[in-house]
Amino acid sequence: MRIRRNDSGPGPHLEWRVRLLGGGAILALAGIWADLPWLINGAIAMLLIGFALRFIGGDGDEAPDADEDGPWDGGHHRGT
């Protein structure tokens, strides 16, 4: 497990973290409105899973593949 403190990127699993945050917020509001403790507990679990995704896998330190087609190759622009 590695905590990124100086990384300016959004981090791994951003899409799933946003989905879980939105779903957890909707479930929490519905549970509060309907006064259903089990629904509120499910929302809390959903939010904790989204929070845990910040700390697992995909730290983004992998170097790009040499065969990858991109505009840059070894620091030199291919077009020039």
Tokens of 24: 């957890």
Nearest to 23 by CA among 45, 2, 1: 45
CA distance 62 to 40: 39
Q: Is 47 exposed, middle or buried (0-12, 13-18, 19+ CB in 10 A)?
A: middle
- pLDDT (tens, 9 = 90+) of the chain, 80 residues, equals 666 666 667 777 889 999 999 999 999 999 999 999 999 999 999 999 999 998 887 655 544 444 555 555 555 555 55
Nearest to 49 by CA among 4, 1, 2, 17: 17
Q: What are phi and psi of 76, to 5 degrees?
A: -115, 135
- Residue 63: the pLDDT is 45
